[in-house]
Amino acid sequence: MIKKHYVNNKDFLAAMIEYREAVAKAKEEGRRKPQVSNYIAECIMKIAEKYSHRPENLAYSFRDEMIGDAIENCIMYIDNFDPAKS
């Protein structure tokens, strides 16, 4: 049984590498960078939601805002992803 907040690391890494290559190709061709795929966005949402259930975050009264901020920051800085460091 697959858990609700489970993210397959190998699939997520492959999707991130593919997105990074698409961004580089778009940059070379002078096009706008592509949108983040639904799969990547879903994984980021699952990670943020799971992280919000950690004991140090349970007492946080604005948990939904914390999750939203985490998702926003991940999307804003997604171009900084380096597969060599993952």
Tell me the C-alpha distance between 42 and 8, whole Å.
Answer: 12
Tell me the C-alpha distance between 33 and 24, whole Å.
Answer: 8
Signed CA dihedral, 65, 76, 52, 55: sign only: negative
Q: What is the mean pLDDT of residues 59-86?
A: 89
DSSP code of residue 80? G
* Residues whose CB falls within 8 Å of the CB of residue 51, separated by 6 or more in sequence, listed in order: 57, 70
Share of the chain above pLDDT 90, in %: 62
Checking if the pLDDT of 52 tops 80, the result is yes
Checking if the pLDDT of 86 tops 90, the result is no
Mean pLDDT, the chain, whole residue set:
89
Checking if the pLDDT of 31 tops 70, the result is yes
pLDDT given for residue 5 in this prediction: 61
pLDDT given for residue 51 in this prediction: 87
